[in-house]
């Protein structure tokens, strides 16, 4: 990737990040930071598209920063900041609201899922959420956006908005068209109770997910209880693919052990799932428990977390202001 490339991604401050966030996003962020300029944003303005208790939101923003640091993001290499502290996000979002089309937003499947059956009662913010996401990315002229597969449609919308802006204002290559970076092997970590659903903070049962802050005992209990299959581990991927819960456990194992699935099946086919589960619990404890301990430790020193944010906010604001100046000029705003 060229020197001009810039990575941007956002994470919602939901608190209590889990294995899905870790394997699907955070680990990827850390590896990108090695060779590229990266900006990682805690998207608090996206969070308030559904009501958040103010004191809980504040805490969750800090906990998300703590999770970034605990997984290995380095504030000296990457810009780590929170969205609302750089007002350019909201300003550009407004401009892009006027570029984006109602018909485009009406196609967004995430809005349909999140708004539920009574769309009339959803906030307007939830509806135009994807325009704000486009603003996040375009404000920095980011070129690459690591996201989970569920955000692909929003990223395509960002590209459409960038294209339309460039064409409406006669500035062909002004906004680069951002490209998604979707992890190949594990774009989705599924629920431990239902292999057809994404692992999610909002699923009622805590047994459906491994939280980054889970203790070793909790990890063991959850993996033991995880749904698998009554038949032994199959010998082919094709067979495995018919069993979503088993596939999920093996995929997680593969992702953390760095051994590919075929090889794992060679070793494990014919064995009971308890064999896999013991090994998987050990691996997870080795990888996740230290991260959880670090998050807890960091949350004990909020002054430090606020300092990290302050430094990141300043860097982000400088970049944003520079770009915004040009954007305002293109649009004809004095
Ligand atoms: N919508 C993303 C999610 O829920 C979060 C997000 C907001 C984001 N702004 C972004 C991701 C910009 C990538 C780039 O996961």
Let me know whether 306 and 283 are in one domain.
no
What is the C-alpha separation between 276 and 268, in angstroms, rounded? 8
Same domain membership, residue 211 and residue 327: no
- Among candidate residues 54, 46, 133, the one with its CA nearest the CA of residue 84: 46
The DSSP code for 18 is B
**pLDDT tops 70 at residue 311:** yes
In the chain, the percentage of residues whose pLDDT exceeds 70 is 99
Model confidence at 59: pLDDT above 80: yes
Residue 80 lies in a domain: yes
Statement: residue 322 has pLDDT above 60: yes
**Residue carrying structure tokens 């491994």:** 210
- Residue 269 main-chain phi, psi, to 5 deg: -60, 140
Residue 304: the pLDDT is 98
Could you read off the pLDDT of 191-246 as tens digits, one per residue?
999 999 999 998 999 999 999 999 999 999 999 999 999 999 999 999 999 999 99
Arithmetic mean of pLDDT, 88-95: 98
Per-residue DSSP letter, 190: B
- pLDDT of residue 186 exceeding 80, the answer is no
Q: Does a structural domain hold residue 199? A: no
- Quick: pLDDT tens for 3-37: 589 999 999 998 889 999 999 999 999 999 999 99
Structure tokens belonging to residue 211: 């939280």
Question: Which residues are known catalytic residues?
Answer: 114, 198, 201
- For 132, 235, 290, the CA distances from 126, given in Å and listed in that order, are 10, 45, 35
Residue 148 domain-assigned (yes or no): yes
Does 138 reside within a domain?
A: yes
b/e burial code for range 210-219 (CB count within 10 A of at least 16 → b): bbbbbeeebb
Q: Which domain holds residue 282?
A: 206-296
Mark whether 34 and 147 lie in a shared domain.
Answer: yes
Q: Are residues 156 and 46 in the same domain?
A: yes
Residue 169 shares a structural domain with residue 114: yes
Query: What pLDDT is attached to residue 15?
Result: 85
> From CA 140, how far away is CA 324, in angstroms rounded?
9
Task: Dump the DSSP string for 113-159.
Answer: HHHTT-GGGS-HHHHHHHHHHHHHHHTTT--EEE--GGGHHHHHHHH
Three-state SS at 319 = helix
Closest CA to 211 of 17, 14, 11, 59: 17
Q: Does the beta carbon of 8 lie inside 6 Å of ligand 1? A: yes
User: pLDDT confidence of 188, banded at 50, 70, 90?
Assistant: confident
Residues 155 and 170 in one domain: yes
Residue of 18, 147, 156 to mutate, ligand 1, most atoms within 8 A of C-beta: 147
For the segment 70-89, the average pLDDT, to the nearest whole number, is: 98
Q: Is 145 in the pocket of ligand 1 (CB under 6 A)?
A: yes
How much is the average pLDDT of 75-101?
Answer: 98
3-state secondary structure of 81: strand
For residue 38, list its beta bridge partners: 7
Asked if residue 175 lies in contact with residue 159, where contact means CB atoms within 8 angstroms, the answer is no
> Average pLDDT over the chain, rounded to whole?
96
Question: Domain of 237: which CATH number?
Answer: 1.10.240.10
Two tokens at 311?
């430094």
CA of 11 to the centre of ligand 1 (A): 6
Confidence band of 187 (pLDDT split at 50, 70, 90): low
Token representation of residue 196? 């057809």
Count of CB atoms situated within 10 Å of the CB of 252: 25
For residues 39 and 108, membership in a common domain is answered with yes
In a domain, 85, yes or no: yes
Looking at the DSSP assignment, which residues form a beta bridge with residue 82?
42
Distance CA 66, CA 293 (A): 11
The reply to whether 140 and 264 lie within a common domain is: no
* Residue 190 in this model has a pLDDT that exceeds 90: yes
Q: How confident is the model at residue 143 (pLDDT cuts 50, 70, 90)?
A: very high
For residue 201, is it within any domain?
A: no
pLDDT of residue 3: 53
Q: Is the CB of 75 under 6 A from ligand 1?
A: no
Query: Cα(133) to centroid of ligand 1, in Å?
Result: 6
Assigned domain for 219 exists:
yes
Residue 11 shares a structural domain with residue 32? yes
Query: What Rg do the C-alpha atoms of the chain give, in angstroms?
Result: 21
Same domain, 277 and 174: no
Distance of CA 202 to the CA centre of its chain: 15
Stated as kind and residue range, the H or E segment containing 288 is: helix 273-299
**How many domains does one find in the chain?**
2
**Residue 179 falls inside a structural domain:** yes
Q: Where are the beta strands (DSSP E) in 43-140?
A: 79-82
pLDDT at residue 4, rounded to an integer: 80
Same domain? For 317 and 270 the reply is no
Spacing, Cα 60 to ligand 1 middle (Å): 16
Is 80 exceeded by the pLDDT of residue 153? yes
**CATH number for the domain harbouring residue 51:** 3.40.50.620
Q: Which of 11, 129, 320 to mutate to test the pocket of ligand 1 (most atoms within 8 A of CB)?
A: 11
CA 236 / ligand 1 centre spacing (Å):
36
Q: Is the CB of 147 under 6 A from ligand 1?
A: yes
Q: Are residues 129 and 247 in the same domain?
A: no
Percentage with pLDDT > 90 across the chain: 93
């Amino acid at each position: 990737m060229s020197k001009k490339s810039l990575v941007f991604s956002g994470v919602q401050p939901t608190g209590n990040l889990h294995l899905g966030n870790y394997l699907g996003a955070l680990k990827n962020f850390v590896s990108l930071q090695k060779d590229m300029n990266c900006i990682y944003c805690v998207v608090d303005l996206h969070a308030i598209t559904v009501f958040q208790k103010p004191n809980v939101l504040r805490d969750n923003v800090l906990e998300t920063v703590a999770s970034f640091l605990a997984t290995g993001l380095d504030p000296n290499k990457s810009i780590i900041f929170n969205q609302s502290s750089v007002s350019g996000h909201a300003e550009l979002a407004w401009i892009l609201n006027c570029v984006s089309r109602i018909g485009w937003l009406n196609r967004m499947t995430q809005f349909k899922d999140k708004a539920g059956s009574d769309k009339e009662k959803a906030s307007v913010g939830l509806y135009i959420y994807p325009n704000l996401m486009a603003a996040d990315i375009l404000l920095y002229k980011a070129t690459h956006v690591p996201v989970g597969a569920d955000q692909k449609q929003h990223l395509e919308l960002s590209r459409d908005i960038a294209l339309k802006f460039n064409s409406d204002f006669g500035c062909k290559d002004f906004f680069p068209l951002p490209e998604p970076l979707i992890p190949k092997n594990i774009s989705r970590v599924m629920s431990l109770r239902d292999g057809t659903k994404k692992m999610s903070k909002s699923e009622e049962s805590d047994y459906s997910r491994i939280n980054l802050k889970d203790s070793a005992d909790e990890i063991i209990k959850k993996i033991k209880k995880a749904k698998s299959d009554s038949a032994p581990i199959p010998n082919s991927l094709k067979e495995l693919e018919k069993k979503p819960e088993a596939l999920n456990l093996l995929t997680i194992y593969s992702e953390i052990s760095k051994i590919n699935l075929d090889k794992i099946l060679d070793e494990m086919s014919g064995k009971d799932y308890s064999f896999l589960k013991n090994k998987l619990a050990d691996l997870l404890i080795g990888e996740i428990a230290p991260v959880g301990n670090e998050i807890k430790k960091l949350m004990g020193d909020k002054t430090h977390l606020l300092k990290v944010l302050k430094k990141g906010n300043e860097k982000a604001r400088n970049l944003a202001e520079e770009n915004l100046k040009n954007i305002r000029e293109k649009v004809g705003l004095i």
